[in-house]
Chain A
Amino acid sequence: MAQMVTGQLGAEGPYWDALAEGRLLLPRCKGCGQWHWPAVWRCGECGSWEHEWHERTLEGTIFTWTRTHHRFGGTEGLDLPYTTVLVTLNDAPIRLQGLMEGREDDLKIGARVTGRIDKTRFGDAAILSLRWSLA
């Protein structure tokens, strides 16, 4: 089981629970259909407090990326350099962060990627996070 390090940020509890089960769940307002990320308790568009969590596939395109070379404190669990990407999902208007794995030779904005769920070591904790590779 992954450990929360910084505590739950907002209303995204079901996201972490689902990742721990190997699934990606994301929230959509039952009132107006708006997808929300970060997750919210109240939909700021229609005022609804009801949200449905939908399973989505880990497929998308690169929105942007950075390759980190400097050893910042707190990244000791990752080998340098490592590449962090922001991925626009194919089946929800939401961007999720992740780490690249595999080849990066034609990594660029717009490139198609597929993902999986893994954990990142952070001190004594292991944080659930996504891994993406070029499709």
Chain B
Amino acid sequence: MIDALGDPQSVLLLGGTSEIGVATVRVLAGRRLERVVLAGRASPRLEETAESLRRTGVGDVSTVHLDAERTDEHAAALEPVFAAGDIDVVVMAIGELGDQAAAEVDPRLAVEIAQTTFVGPMSALLHCAAALRTQGHGVIVVLSSVAAVRARRANFVYGSSKAGLDACAQGLAAALEGTGVSVVTVRPGFVRTRMTAGRTEAAFAVEPDDVAAAIRSALRDRPEVVWVPGRLRAVMTVARLLPRRVFRRLPG
């Protein structure tokens, strides 16, 4: 259960090696966390991540093999996770920034990014939503992005995929009203991770720990949308109103 101060006892991290996801688990590990399930493609990194989380004192850390693109396998992968006990928090952290330039040359790569960032996550989210609804409680945290809010030249394949996921999360939040399950959409700006390493930093860049801290307080307050840093809400409200020509000339 998630207690009155927002501390959960179990977390399912979809995208089990995601730096933001793992940072979130670490923040919660010092509190009431007893069970962590890392879902991701079978890889040594997934097992290493599990091992490192065991050292934080969480009693039960396990992994489950889930490939976002293989949506027909999602039910079989996720069902045992919920059968073994309640999941208080689901963190959806699957996504791929990809290579925009390459995708423009070879649209098959664009499809791949959309599969990994939008279609696969939507499938997994719907499976989890049904399970949490049966539990009568829980929070689904969906990692979206500022890139989802207004398409940009530099990364619109990723941005449009995140926009799909963001819209899915909004709709899911509405669908789950009155079921005891909340959906929190998290829209970080530029986060310094493996995924963004080597890229030009945008304004308002943050660390994975900043996103994790924002998620932790969201587990208590359950806002529908969280921007990280919080100032981005105002910035993007203005950005959305700018004429297209002006918006395109903005740096970042």
Partners in one complex: no
Could you tell me which A residues sit within 8 Å of B by CB distance? Answer: none
Could you tell me which B residues sit within 8 Å of A by CB distance? Answer: none
